[in-house]
């Protein structure tokens, strides 16, 4: 049974004259996609467990504008970004954590030139920090000895050079971390970036997510770990395509840790 936590909004905290240490930016996928909502819950569980004071924007959060920008609509992106920056600056937000590399990259690298300057962390970075500081502890339990391979999200890896944090976190689970032949800076895109998530692929011999799934399956893993809700969708679809849903699970790094937390 899932433990229910009350997650406060920035508005509720302000009404009580409180300021959270961290704003959890949930993102569109984390809010509306049924599968990605489980990642959101896992991040909330970890933050709560580590006794971190955090809040969400709730209905005041809107899309960062990443898909619009990637699809070439700079005007729409800037309108969306300016609205978000007005809200964030209104609450004097200093530190943001998000489970979506697309949101992470946009907030961290593209908002500053529009007046939005924040310390932005990907959830794998925050989890690594919490583990290193002893604020959370994990036990390998369910994952002991299991083969786990990590798929590098493009906007986490190549775009922001974050390769170690997710791997260091996975290593804490006593599983066997295995690398696909294309990993880290040579990693292969899941096929969802650049707005491709929201349209049908062009004609070709094979969809990218199938190619990537085949690469992962060569290792005979029990778990394909990822750190991006877009990658989660594409890899899950790949596993379904190969009828491997019973043998191989696709899980976000946050879900792995939330399942292994020492209570």
What is the structure's pLDDT at 201?
Answer: 81
What is the structure's pLDDT at 1?
Answer: 40
% of the chain surpassing 70 pLDDT: 98
What average pLDDT is seen over the chain? 94
CATH architecture of the domain with range 137-260: 3-Layer(aba) Sandwich (3.40)
Residues of the chain with CATH 3.40.50: 10-128, 137-260
Cβ burial, residue 202 (10 Å; 0-12/13-18/19+): exposed
Alpha-carbon distance 55 to 6, whole Å?
10
Alpha-carbon distance 148 to 177, whole Å?
5
Beta bridge partners of 242: none
CATH architecture of the domain with range 10-128: 3-Layer(aba) Sandwich (3.40)
pTM: 0.95
How many of the other CB atoms lie within 10 Å of CB of 171? 14
Q: Which residues of 82-117 are buried (b: 16+ CB within 10 A; e: fewer)?
A: eebbebbeebebeebbbbbbbbbbbbbebbeeeebe
In angstroms, what CA-CA distances link 125 with 150, 165, 176? 15, 5, 20
Question: What are the residue ranges in the chain where pLDDT is below 50?
Answer: 1
What is the structure's pLDDT at 78?
Answer: 98
Alpha-carbon distance 13 to 19, whole Å?
6
What is the structure's pLDDT at 3?
Answer: 62
Are 114 and 74 contacting, i.e. CB atoms less than 8 angstroms apart? no
């Amino acid at each position: 049974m899932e433990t229910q936590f009350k997650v406060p909004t920035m508005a509720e905290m302000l009404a009580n004259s409180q300021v959270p240490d961290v704003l959890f930016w949930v993102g569109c996928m984390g809010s509306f996609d049924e599968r990605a909502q489980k990642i959101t819950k896992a991040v909330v569980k970890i933050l709560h467990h580590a006794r971190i004071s955090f809040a969400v924007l709730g209905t005041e959060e809107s899309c960062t504008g990443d898909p619009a920008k990637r699809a070439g609509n700079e005007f729409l992106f800037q309108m969306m970004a300016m609205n978000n920056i007005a809200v964030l600056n209104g609450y004097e937000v200093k530190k943001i954590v998000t489970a979506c590399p697309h949101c992470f990259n946009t907030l961290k690298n593209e908002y500053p030139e529009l007046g939005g300057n924040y310390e932005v962390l990907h959830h794998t970075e925050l989890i690594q920090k919490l583990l290193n500081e002893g604020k959370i502890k994990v036990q390998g339990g369910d994952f002991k000895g299991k083969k786990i391979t990590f798929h590098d999200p493009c906007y986490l890896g190549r775009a922001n050079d974050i390769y170690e944090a997710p791997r260091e976190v996975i290593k804490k689970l006593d599983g066997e971390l295995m690398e696909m032949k294309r990993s880290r800076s040579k990693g292969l895109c899941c096929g969802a970036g650049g707005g491709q998530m929201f349209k049908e692929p062009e004609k070709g011999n094979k969809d990218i997510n199938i190619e990537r799934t085949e690469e992962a399956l060569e290792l005979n893993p029990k778990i394909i770990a990822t750190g991006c809700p877009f990658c989660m969708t594409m890899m899950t679809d790949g596993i379904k395509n190969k009828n491997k849903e019973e043998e191989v699970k696709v899980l976000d790094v946050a879900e792995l840790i939330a399942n292994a937390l020492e209570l």
